[in-house]
Amino acid sequence: MNFAILFGGMSYEHEISIVSAIALKKVLHSTPIFIFCDAQREFYLIPAEKMRAKLFSSGAYRKETKLELKQGGFYRRVLMKEKPVHFDVLINLIHGGDGEDGKMASLLTFFSIPFIGPRLEASVLSFNKLFTKWYAASCGVEVLEYEVLHRGSYDVKTPYPYIVKPLRLGSSIGVSIVREEKERDYALDVAYEFDDAVLIEPFIEGVKEYNLAGCKADDFIFSIIEEPQKEQFLDFEKKYLDFSRTDRVQEASVDTALQKALHEAFKRIYEPLFAGALIRCDFFVIDDRIYLNEINPIPGSYANYLFEDFNAVISALAKHLPKEAKIPVEYHYIHSIQQAKGK
């Protein structure tokens, strides 16, 4: 199986997508093709041996081969001819905007490129945290209470402490905890920097959090369950660690009943909407009840560190991608009309 990794994008998570791609290079058994989407949304073919963060931050990537996305694949122009870049399956590794919001799913589907990643509807429902609430409810998975405010509004009804999140970003960008009134306006202004709307949820001190990744190939493949430890790092270090991880993490100590319940909640969320994707669901457990916190449809470095044999998982998933139903276009109506008109 020859993989291509698509990374970058016009996204607040552009940089961590680069870090994520470098991490994935280390864990795949065969060297993938690297396709970079820059902030101007031009595509470049990056030789694997040049995959270092500095190539991108310095702008030196612009000297590499430019690619065009067309029907059937990515092409480079050699003299008068177009040559396709060869791979079997592309891994969409653009985090945040462009990658997780549905644009890349649309482009890849439209141009008939087989890919691992969330499809269009799955992207839109998981990228917008309000839509995720609606979706989880329809799956019978509980979520925390919430309210949505729009730019210009500071009229929060949720009691302190609460958490403020931009409605559409992934990662922890623009997220604040508000413990008292004097922190409110600043927290909202920070979130409004990133989105016209914000989601507000109660903040529960010391809540139990469990992350579970997985996908469906022949059957469901689950990762270990991780209890994230987030508080001891500076912001950029935390992010770097989250997205560059390739070492396996400590498995959370959860009893069989909880493990089963988390698997069950994951399945309800995953099927059928997320077919073709490897996702990570972040859950809260409060008084023995499971709540969906969020869905990461393209987790940092594909959460490779949560799997025993990541290469085997991604290869199995690559063989179980949903096929787009091709629609026959037959000009039946136009023929009927022309016959009716006697033409």
Q: Residues in the site for a copy of itself, rule: CB under 8 A?
A: 10-12, 14-16, 18-19, 38-42, 53-54, 56-57, 68, 70-71, 80, 97-98, 101-103, 105-107, 109-112, 120-121, 124-125, 128, 130-131, 134, 138, 150, 196, 236-237, 239-240, 272, 326-329, 331-338, 340, 343
Least distance CB 300 / a copy of itself (angstroms): 12
Least distance CB 15 / a copy of itself (angstroms): 5
**Closest to a copy of itself by CB, 240 or 284:** 240
**Closest to a copy of itself by CB, 121 or 183:** 121
Contact between residue 102 and residue 123 where contact means Cβ atoms under 8 Å apart: yes
**Closest to a copy of itself by CB, 64 or 183:** 64
Least distance CB 239 / a copy of itself (angstroms): 6
Least distance CB 43 / a copy of itself (angstroms): 9
**Closest to a copy of itself by CB, 157 or 326:** 326
Least distance CB 100 / a copy of itself (angstroms): 12
Q: E-strand spans in the chain? A: 3-8, 33-37, 43-46, 65-70, 73-78, 81-84, 89-92, 115-116, 142-143, 147-150, 162-166, 176-178, 197-202, 208-216, 220-226, 279-286, 289-296
Of 232, 301, 270, nearest to 22 by C-alpha is: 301
**Closest to a copy of itself by CB, 41 or 83:** 41
Helix/strand/coil percent split, the chain, to 5: 35, 25, 40
Least distance CB 46 / a copy of itself (angstroms): 15
For 326, how many CA atoms within 13 A lie in the half-sphere containing its CB?
5
Calpha distance 243→301 (Å, rounded): 5
**Closest to a copy of itself by CB, 126 or 315:** 126
Calpha distance 288→255 (Å, rounded): 12
| Helices marked H in 86-128 | 103-110, 120-127
